[in-house]
Amino acid sequence: MPKETFFITTPIYYTNWVPHIWHAYSSIICDTLARYQKINGKKVKFSTWVDENSQKAVLKATEMNMEIMPYLDMMAEKHKAVWDGLNIKYTDFIRTTEERHHKLVREVLQKCYDNGDIYQAEYEWMYCVGCEAFKKDEDLVCLNKTTKETFPFSSKVKMSENILKVCPDHLTEPQKIKEKNWFFRLSKYENFLKDFYHSPEWKNFVIPDNRFNEVKAFVGRWLEDFSISRETNTFGIKLPFDETQVTYVWFDALFNYVTVCKYPDNGGNDEAFWPADIHVVAKDIIRFHAIYWPAMLKSAGYPMPKNILTTGYFTVDGQKISKSLWNVIDPVEFSAKYSKDLLTLYMLSSINIGQDGDFDQKQAILMYNAKLANNLGNLVNRVVVLALKLDWVLENNKLRRYSGVSMEWDTWIYDNKYFSFDSDNIFEKIDKLKNEINEDFERFNLKGILDDSFKFLDKLNDFTTQKEPWQMIKDETKLEETKEVLYTIAEWLRQVGLALYPFFPEKMSEMFVKLWLEDYTQNLEAGELQKLIAKNETFVIKEKGDPLFLRIDI
């Protein structure tokens, strides 16, 4: 039977910047979800990309005194280097200047035009290049140029040289544009969208719920047709029905998600991957994904993506990220200095997906030291050191002696005399981890999985402290008991390792090797997670090796 498919996408990042740490946030979420689906047996496609046909890129190239194509080539390499540097295991990387993408966009534009959804009109509007979006008065705020303060815009505020109407995100005045352009008839899809959002099958289309409610409220209020082309820009994809104009950002960028399926760079056909399972985006582009995108797909005759997972925004040490504040963090440099695992752990467990957060660097280091270096790393080290003092083999045939008839792991655990020690309740915690991991991944509850794993490890550390195997080992009469305690710790580390593998693949692989589970990475990558969870293992500890996680000094 062919494997079930899973297709996940990052946003299509602009190329006027090298990706910063918050672009990495979206990509790390995608990477973790994609890795999980792969080890759980699905055929995974994970795409990332660069959004090149934008005015921002043209302006940046001009500013750098470069021709546009050499500039874009350079930036595409820089973006790729960031994702490769962070070991983000994407399967597809696409640039919107590629021929295959031009072909796809022209096909869909023609289709939408033929069915009457694209028409020409003249308009006068304000346009923010930073957002690559049209703005209305209610989208803007007032900026006092002297004090640099912003306050809400109202028609009563008198504009002057000092009081400007600006975009709240970029604090720049939008351009006034009067052009004859082509429009997409979004208003025609109002009822379609309302029915779609309210049908039970799509009740989780946008996650989390509060973002979905915002989208529904927005569609309930106001749906206007939007411009899909620019008369004055020359760089971009030419409209097939009017070669004097190019399409701009949204119609172009969003269809990238389809290009990689219809025209994948392996030359084959990945159409079975469409519709996408998850588009990961931040709240800044949710309207485009949850409103424009379904309408455009409907018009072009494609099925809807299944989920739009919307993240919040991060600040750095309490401040908005801005090049002028010099608080833009290069994720590769940061990972080299500290660790990629610190980045993953802090970003995925300090907030739930959907909430806004702050990247407090000191807290991130403290969290890394407490959870990865102490809680997990030290425990692994303890088992390894003690096991080396015994006969190096922690056998799983110990299971038989304690359960009597049954050889089931759970039966043994529950009957095991060593676990009468405490009950707040370690068994429930490991069961929760084993039984709910799949559901948690399916619900994108990455924080939940990390929290459960580390709470379980707290309990396991308590158990270890209470049993004191380092004392037991000194008593000849307690050698068997020591082995069994160590076996139990090793087995439970194995279970935690399987749950944490999608987050920390390199370190969990290292841990498996320390426990003589040398084929684990290969078996996981072949989709055998469930088989491994259910397996009984024998652990052979051969050498101490390096510590798994080094503590970081603040």
What residue ranges bind ligand ME8 (CB under 6 A)?
Answer: 11-14, 22-23, 25-26, 51, 253-254, 281-282, 284-285, 311, 313-314, 321
Which DSSP state fits 517? -
Residue placing its CB nearer to ligand ME8 in the complex, 292 or 412 = 292
Amino acid at site 192: F
H/E stretch holding 104? helix 99-114
Shortest Cβ 269–ligand ME8 spacing (Å): 22
Residue placing its CB nearer to ligand ME8 in the complex, 273 or 463 = 273
Shortest Cβ 283–ligand ME8 spacing (Å): 8
Residue placing its CB nearer to ligand ME8 in the complex, 51 or 452 = 51
Check: CB of residue 44 under 8 Å from CB of residue 32: no
Distance CA 166, CA 115 (A): 37
Distance CA 189, CA 129 (A): 27
Omega prior to 168 cis, within 30 of 0: no
Which residue bears the tokens 């039977």?
A: 1
Shortest Cβ 282–ligand ME8 spacing (Å): 3
Check: CB of residue 549 under 8 Å from CB of residue 362: no
Check: CB of residue 35 under 8 Å from CB of residue 89: yes
Residue 492, phi-psi category: left (phi > 0), alpha (psi -120 to 50), beta (remainder): alpha
Q: Tell me how many helices (H) and strands (E) the chain has.
A: 23, 20
Distance CA 276, CA 11 (A): 13
**φ, ψ for residue 521 (rounded to 5)?**
-60, -45
**φ, ψ for residue 337 (rounded to 5)?**
-70, -45
Residue placing its CB nearer to ligand ME8 in the complex, 14 or 520 = 14
Residue placing its CB nearer to ligand ME8 in the complex, 306 or 382 = 306
Q: Which residues pair with 357 in a beta bridge?
A: 314
Shortest Cβ 69–ligand ME8 spacing (Å): 19
Shortest Cβ 246–ligand ME8 spacing (Å): 16
Residues sharing a CB contact under 8 Å with residue 442, sequence separation 6 or more, in sequence order: none
Q: Tokens standing for 424? A: 């707040």
| Cα–Cα nearest to 207, from 215, 196, 219 | 215
Residue placing its CB nearer to ligand ME8 in the complex, 249 or 493 = 249
Residue placing its CB nearer to ligand ME8 in the complex, 228 or 281 = 281
Check: CB of residue 44 under 8 Å from CB of residue 91: yes
The set of catalytic residues is: 20, 23, 128, 131, 167, 170, 320, 323
Distance CA 497, CA 187 (A): 50
| Cα–Cα nearest to 41, from 538, 514, 513, 441 | 441
Shortest Cβ 319–ligand ME8 spacing (Å): 11
Shortest Cβ 287–ligand ME8 spacing (Å): 11
Reduce the DSSP state of residue 207 to 3 states and report it.
Answer: strand
Which DSSP state fits 146? T
- Rg of the chain on CA atoms, in Å: 27
Residue placing its CB nearer to ligand ME8 in the complex, 75 or 142 = 75
